[in-house]
Amino acid sequence: MVLSENKPFSKVLIVGAGFSGLATACQLRREHNCDDYVIYDRSPAPGGTWWANKYPGCAVDIPAVFYSLSFAPNPDFSKIYPPQAEILEYFNKVADKFDVSRHIVRNTEWEGAYWQDSTNSWLVKLKDLSTGQTFYHECKILISAVGALVNPNQFGIPGVETFEGDIVHTAAWKADLSLHEKDVIVVGNGCEFSFLSLSLSLSLSPLRSFRQQLISITQFIRRRIFDNSRYTSCLQQSNIHLTDDPIVKVSSHSIFTKSGQEYRADAILLATGFALTQYEVDLVGRNGRTRDEHWGNFGYKEAYKSTAMSGFPNFFYVLGPNSGKGHTSAIYCIENYVNLVMKVIAPVLRDRASFVEVKSDSEKEYNENLHEKIATTIFNSSCGSYFIDYKSQKNWFIYPWNSFVMWYSTHWGRSDDWTYDDRPHQNYRLFSFGHLLLLLALSIIPISFKVSMTVSEKLQYTTR
């Protein structure tokens, strides 16, 4: 590959300007005083899913206290479940506070990345979406902060091209869309529908929601639970009708279901979620080995502690395979994985090493243990969930251990799981010293509790 010498270079290149990219950039400055980084994002503005999703009623589905960065808490949220606009405002305030905004390059698509052994660096292929021009950016460390909620699922029902009304996905909402007193069909019945229906139900003619199947009580926990006490009462309103009769055909002003029923429609709203395509970019590591070839060797999508792959030095995910918790905050997961990455890349940032790479044996051992644990969870059951990869039939999404284990394993671990080309002695203590401190703290807690109880008992005795 022959390239011009004037291609841009930065020590760190981050792909994605959502919360993963924001947290990574903030911690580069806070932990390493590193200002030599750039963030590329394909959207016209930063914010990730909170910029893309502007549909009526869009809000966070967990309490806001858990959906804010630990080093940048926000006491000013107006509600327990803040609306999209407040989350985006918070995002931009944090970006400005930590001087992240000026590092973001917008309207730029990530098309590939290629490891260069000669320079121990990544050559990243990018496309300027405003001009269509392809260019390259070289970096020492490449971090994928691309989220899963990127590409909307398509509505591939026969006859959809003949529909004369509006067809709108929640992630591509039209600001001027008017639904007042119109017959509206909503496809999907997850979190997006719950917020959308609550917002629209008072101003619409009949609102009908279609889903592939109704989930029984014993199945519901297999997918993400959202807490919205108004949702069930909303479904009982006279102008909202929920059915599991699948749509099989679309005409100019109607949809037809499997049972033969026809429903008139002025608009079709797609609350169908997202196609999980964040791993389709061309990624080539050592010896020309691609990510697909690497995963083919394992038989499924994987990464060591969801962040790194052997044969791909200086490359890290923030929310990689099996990084998601089923029922807690994505921000919590993001911060933990960013913390791990910050520890591991420290010698490279400080020019004590030119690359870091996870060992293949450690990667294999970790993923064997992970899938053995997943097999014991309800998230591995068959319920049509996007957690299961249809090719490998492996659960590539869920982190199977509890939240404390995630925190502990990303803050302390085994230094021997990593290879550096030049590694001074002090780097071996990145994990082990902290491990010792934590064990010491955990051993002191029960002793302190016992002493305090003894003192309390004596005080009670002396005051009788």
pTM: 0.86
Spatial CA neighbour of 184 closest among 172, 158, 171, 202: 202
- 133 and 177 co-located in one domain: no
- 39 and 58 co-located in one domain: yes
pLDDT value at residue 248: 94
Spatial CA neighbour of 300 closest among 230, 222, 367, 225: 367
Residue 11 and residue 33 in contact, taking contact as beta carbons nearer than 8 Å: no
At 349 the three-state DSSP class reads helix
Q: What count of other Cβ atoms lies within 10 Å of the Cβ of residue 378?
A: 13
Strands 151-152 and 418-420: unpaired
At 385 the three-state DSSP class reads coil
- 303 and 189 co-located in one domain: no
pLDDT value at residue 188: 81
End of a domain among 240, 274, 308? Answer: 274
Strands 274-275 and 108-116: unpaired
Taking only the tens place, the pLDDT of each residue in 156-208 is: 899 999 999 999 998 889 988 888 878 888 888 767 766 776 677 655 555 56
- 51 and 124 co-located in one domain: yes
Contacts of residue 406, Cβ cutoff 8 Å, sequence gap at least 6: 325, 332, 333, 336, 399
End of a domain among 274, 302, 331? Answer: 274
- 284 and 302 co-located in one domain: yes
Q: How far apart are the C-alpha atoms of 452 and 107, rounded to whole Å?
A: 59
The reply to whether 2 falls in a domain is: no
Spatial CA neighbour of 358 closest among 302, 301, 300: 302
pLDDT value at residue 237: 73
The reply to whether 36 falls in a domain is: yes
The reply to whether 443 falls in a domain is: yes
Number of structural domains in the chain: 3
Residue 291 and residue 285 in contact, taking contact as beta carbons nearer than 8 Å: yes
The reply to whether 1 falls in a domain is: no
- 238 and 290 co-located in one domain: no
pLDDT value at residue 99: 98
The residue ranges of DSSP E strands in 238-347, in sequence order, are 240-243, 247-250, 254-257, 262-264, 267-270, 274-275, 282-284, 315-317
The reply to whether 215 falls in a domain is: yes
The reply to whether 340 falls in a domain is: yes
The reply to whether 233 falls in a domain is: yes
The reply to whether 406 falls in a domain is: yes
Q: How far apart are the C-alpha atoms of 105 and 41, rounded to whole Å?
A: 6
- 157 and 234 co-located in one domain: yes
For residue 61, give its domain range: 9-150+277-423
**Using CB atoms within 10 A of its CB, is residue 118 exposed (0-12), middle (13-18) or buried (19+)?**
exposed
CATH assignment of the domain containing 67: 3.50.50.60
- 214 and 340 co-located in one domain: no
- 312 and 446 co-located in one domain: no
Strands 104-105 and 108-116: unpaired
- 301 and 393 co-located in one domain: yes
pLDDT < 70 positions in the chain: 1-5, 190, 193-194, 197-198, 201-231, 233, 277-278, 381-385, 423-464
Residue 319 and residue 330 in contact, taking contact as beta carbons nearer than 8 Å: yes
pLDDT value at residue 181: 78
End of a domain among 274, 296, 316? Answer: 274
Residue 207 and residue 188 in contact, taking contact as beta carbons nearer than 8 Å: no
**Structure-token pair, residue 429:** 């203590």
Helices (H), 16-74: 19-32, 49-52
DSSP for residue 273: -
- 198 and 245 co-located in one domain: yes
Taking only the tens place, the pLDDT of each residue in 20-72 is: 999 999 999 999 999 999 999 999 999 999 999 998 889 998 899 999 999 99
- 264 and 281 co-located in one domain: no
